[in-house]
Amino acid sequence: MTRQPRTQLGFSLVAAIFLLVVLAGLGIYMVTISTVQQQTLSYTFLSARAYQAARSGIEWGTYRVINDSDCSSFPHTIDFSDDSLTGFQTKLNCSVVEHQEKNHKFNIYNLIATSETDTASFGTLDYVSREIKVTITDAVP
């Protein structure tokens, strides 16, 4: 009885290691995709809050301009420390231009609200900023 040489000795070990490496790579890829999705959702939420803070500032500024008929209370800063918008600060600026058409004089008010996170600085990952511009006039049709 003669023994035949085994030429495929160790092939299953190579296949198992290859399969293990491929599955580990897929697992790392899935974890990375999940992390990126979570960060994107977090940044979207921060962006929406910054927009709402800027919109709140515009609404406050519009109310002040309509009631005061001037930009005397500007520039103004709103700090949302005891609100659902905690962590954001809105800066309001107003400029007024007097305009005349025929015999009718009226004012054009330009409001700019810039909202940004007050916990992070520009260039960091958690920094978010939104700006809204509104034009108001006291012209009577």
Phi, psi of 31 (to 5 degrees): -65, -40
Domain range for 128? 13-137
- pTM here? 0.71
Question: Does any domain span residue 8?
Answer: no
**Is 83 part of a structural domain of the chain?**
yes
Tokens of 47: 């962006």
Residue 7 inside a domain? The answer is: no
CA Rg, the chain, in Å?
31
Mean pLDDT, the chain, rounded, equals 85
Residue 92 lies in a domain: yes
Residue 24 forms part of a structural domain:
yes
How many domains does the structure of the chain reveal?
1
| Residue 104 covered by a domain | yes
pLDDT of residue 5: 62
For residue 4, tell me if it sits in a domain: no
Q: Which of 74, 67, 121, 76 is nearest to 96 (CA)?
A: 74
Please say if the pLDDT value at position 11 is more than 80. Answer: no
